[in-house]
Amino acid sequence: MGTAGMKILVSDSLSKQGVELLEKAGFTVVVKSKMPKDELYQEIKDADGLIVRSGTKVTADLIAAAEKLKVVGRAGSGLDNVDTPAATRRGIVVMNTPGGNTVTTAEHTMAMIFSACRKVPQATASVKQGKWEKSKFMGIELYNKTLGIVGIGQIGGYLAKLAQGASMNVIAYDPYLAPDRAEKMGVTLMDLPELFKRADIISVHTPLTAETKSLINAQVIDTMKPGVVLINCARGGIINEADLCEALKTNRVAAAAFDVFEEEPVKPDHPLLALDNFICSPHIGAQTTEAQENVAVGIAEQIVDYFARGVAKGAVNIPSVPPELLPRLQPFLTLAERLGSLQTQLFHGGGVERVTVEYSGEVASLSVASLTIAVLKGLLTPILEHPVNYVNAPIVAKERGIEVKEVKTSDAGDFTSLIRVRVEAGKDSHQVAGTLYHKQEARVVEIDQFKVEMIPEGHMLFIQNRDRPGVIGMVGNVLGESGMNILRMQCALEKRGGNAMLIIASDTEFPAEALNQMKANPDILSVNVANLC
């Protein structure tokens, strides 16, 4: 995939370092922020890539208007403004840069903790008004206090380090964090109700989902320590704003600090803004020079990688293949896709109910999710009119009611690695298997009951015939009379006196007249062609 002539639309502000990196890679970069809707829809029509931050709403309608769009990149971590399912259905990669603002957001959270506990913004405003109200701003010491972190991913994990540096005890809730990892971090894991009971200060670091919306509400606040401090620098709505407001008025919650709100920009008459024990900032957790450069360069590099090398680093809707693993994985990706394509073209792919991909030997130790997607892409592409790619292949398979199974075994028989694809359609079941020679060269070694050794590329002809003298000569004569150039030919035998398979490779398509002539021979059982270019 080259970059020449490709257009990247940047519809929100982006650090110049990112723009320059894209231009250096050969892209045509159009930077237009805060466009009217009509102009945005016009600009997106011929864009190959779109880079946004939080300003542009990438809706299903916008995606539908993007005739050439292949990738949406979010310079930052949040994807609330991107309709990822709609993009996935269109085969568009959605990627973000979740690590680019980790340090900055964690530092801002820690600053909010200090500011809320020591009432720094209120004291500053008081002094600027000519007052000197020392007794009014009694603070809370952080030393030996317990910080409860809800969601200890990258940001929450770095916040834990900062809090430990301030001699705080850190407890956390995260169902996806392994206990041994938490132990190495010096963090005590516990369930959510227990965390709410024990923490002096609670900071939320989860995405906003149906499960996390109003995660902290009036009922939950009643289970917390009196005088707890609540921090939200993650996503507006995780803490119920109306319930928090009432708790702050009664000092059930001593203080709260928000960088995010349910509705942004927050309205000037929002009840929280009138409270002295509430401080806030305008969603600036990632707003540092360093972070903006990080996410801009990060998303630009990811887009260059995707178009130039096919590496979807940071993609949220397909398995990401780390660049260092790509040289090892790429030959398997090619093999897997061609096995899927061969299945459909040999056995016509109608009414597929189940696809089982079996990984044996060394390949079973790799992350095989992307290989299974490659099989589905190869399987579905020949039978569907709309494009099938690594993004939408699983969804297309699901929509067609195809069950997909993965099986891993350590024993690959005579091979170092083996991938076997079995497809079931009604009472029919067919399988093909392949391996790599010299860890690079794809070979098909099994087609149903036949053991073969076939290079899966180019125009392929597969003939099943009775094991009778003269069949190979007849096929050679027919192809010769048609002017066909045979690149490779091999014969596989089921058993002596049984059926055989003749496989022929050519650099041009096989003429229909020649195929029909072969089919008319009584010793020919089936004739199929496959294009594996």
Q: Residues 161-175: pLDDT tens digits? A: 999 999 999 999 987
Buried b (16+ CB within 10 A) or exposed e, 257-294: bbbbbbeeebeeebebeeeebbbbbebebbebeebbeb
CA triple 229-231-236, angle to 5 deg: 140
What average pLDDT does range 169-195 have in this prediction?
Answer: 89
Query: Is 430 annotated in the active site?
Result: no
Percent of the chain whose predicted confidence (pLDDT) is above 70 = 96
Whether the per-residue pLDDT at 323 is higher than 60: the answer is no
Band the pLDDT of 294: cuts 50, 70, 90.
Answer: very high
Query: Is 264 annotated in the active site?
Result: yes
Whether the per-residue pLDDT at 278 is higher than 70: the answer is yes
Element (H, E) at 8: strand 7-10
Q: pLDDT, tens digit, for every residue of 14-71?
A: 999 999 999 999 999 999 999 999 999 999 999 999 999 988 999 999 999 999 999 9
Residue 265, preceding peptide bond in cis (omega within 30° of 0): yes
Q: pLDDT, tens digit, for every residue of 333-350?
A: 889 999 999 998 998 756
Non-local (6+) Cβ contacts of 330 within 8 A are: none
Band the pLDDT of 397: cuts 50, 70, 90.
Answer: confident
Specify the pLDDT at position 495. 73
Specify the pLDDT at position 5. 79
Specify the pLDDT at position 321. 67
Fold exhibited by the domain 458-533: Alpha-Beta Plaits (3.30.70)
Q: Which of the pair, 385 or 103, is modelled with greater confidence?
A: 103
| Angle between helices 289-309 and 16-24 in degrees, nearest 10 | 20
Specify the pLDDT at position 350. 62
Distances (CA, A) of 359 to 130, 363, 372, 412: 74, 6, 10, 8
**Distance of alpha carbon 91 from its chain centroid, rounded?**
12
The domain ranges of the chain are: 7-100+290-309, 102-280, 322-456, 458-533
Q: pLDDT, tens digit, for every residue of 125-142?
A: 999 999 999 999 999 999
Whether the per-residue pLDDT at 394 is higher than 70: the answer is yes
Domain 322-456 in CATH 3.30.1330.90? The answer is yes
Backbone angles phi, psi at 422, to 5 degrees: -115, 130
* Average pLDDT taken over every residue of the chain: 91
Q: How many residues does the chain have?
A: 533
Backbone angles phi, psi at 189, to 5 degrees: -85, 145
Selection from 154, 169, 196, 177 nearest residue 285 by Cα: 154
Band the pLDDT of 393: cuts 50, 70, 90.
Answer: confident
What is the Cα–Cα distance from 114 to 12, expressed in whole angstroms?
A: 32
What is the Cα–Cα distance from 423 to 430, expressed in whole angstroms?
A: 6
What average pLDDT does range 298-319 have in this prediction?
Answer: 86
Report which residue type is found at 136: K
Compute the chain's Rg from CA coordinates.
30
Distances (CA, A) of 176 to 151, 180, 189: 9, 12, 11
Whether the per-residue pLDDT at 360 is higher than 80: the answer is yes
Selection from 189, 164, 193, 162 nearest residue 178 by Cα: 189
- Return the number of other C-beta atoms located less than 10 Å from residue 184's C-beta: 9
**Distance of alpha carbon 154 from its chain centroid, rounded?**
17
What average pLDDT does range 67-95 have in this prediction?
Answer: 89
Distances (CA, A) of 270 to 246, 273, 446: 13, 6, 68
Report which residue type is found at 312: A
Q: Do 476 and 446 form a contact (C-beta atoms < 8 A)? A: no
Specify the pLDDT at position 398. 85
What average pLDDT does range 235-256 have in this prediction?
Answer: 97
Band the pLDDT of 314: cuts 50, 70, 90.
Answer: confident
What is the Cα–Cα distance from 235 to 217, expressed in whole angstroms?
A: 15
Band the pLDDT of 226: cuts 50, 70, 90.
Answer: very high
3-state secondary structure of 21: helix
Percent of the chain whose predicted confidence (pLDDT) is above 90 = 71
Whether the per-residue pLDDT at 1 is higher than 60: the answer is no
Specify the pLDDT at position 26. 94
User: Thinking of the domain 102-280, which architecture would CATH place it in?
Assistant: 3-Layer(aba) Sandwich (3.40)
Q: If you ran DSSP here, which 8-state letter would residue 498 be given?
A: S
Q: Do 9 and 45 form a contact (C-beta atoms < 8 A)? A: no
Distances (CA, A) of 115 to 28, 157, 527: 45, 20, 77
Q: pLDDT, tens digit, for every residue of 491-504?
A: 998 877 679 999 99
What average pLDDT does range 452-479 have in this prediction?
Answer: 93
Specify the pLDDT at position 533. 66
Selection from 71, 58, 85, 50 nearest residue 1 by Cα: 71
Tokens of 519: 């089919």
Specify the pLDDT at position 177. 72
Q: Establish whether domains 7-100+290-309 and 322-456 are of one fold.
A: no
Q: Where are the alpha helices (DSSP H) in 310-445?
A: 326-347, 369-380, 393-399
Specify the pLDDT at position 328. 81
Band the pLDDT of 124: cuts 50, 70, 90.
Answer: very high
Catalytic annotation, pick one of 53, 108, 205, 283? 283
Catalytic annotation, pick one of 53, 74, 108, 235? 235
Q: Do 505 and 459 form a contact (C-beta atoms < 8 A)? A: yes
Query: Is 205 annotated in the active site?
Result: no
Whether the per-residue pLDDT at 320 is higher than 90: the answer is no
Selection from 26, 44, 84 nearest residue 307 by Cα: 26
Strands 71-74 and 403-409: unpaired
Q: Which of the pair, 87 or 399, is modelled with greater confidence?
A: 87
* Strand partners of residue 272: none
- 115, 117, 118, 120: CA torsion to nearest 10: 30
Q: Do 119 and 139 form a contact (C-beta atoms < 8 A)? A: yes
* Strand partners of residue 45: none
Band the pLDDT of 386: cuts 50, 70, 90.
Answer: low
Tokens of 175: 């169902």
CATH number, span 7-100+290-309: 3.40.50.720
Band the pLDDT of 215: cuts 50, 70, 90.
Answer: very high
Backbone angles phi, psi at 357, to 5 degrees: -110, 120
Secondary structure percentages of the chain, helix, strand, coil, to 5: 35, 25, 40
Whether the per-residue pLDDT at 371 is higher than 60: the answer is yes
Whether the per-residue pLDDT at 385 is higher than 60: the answer is no
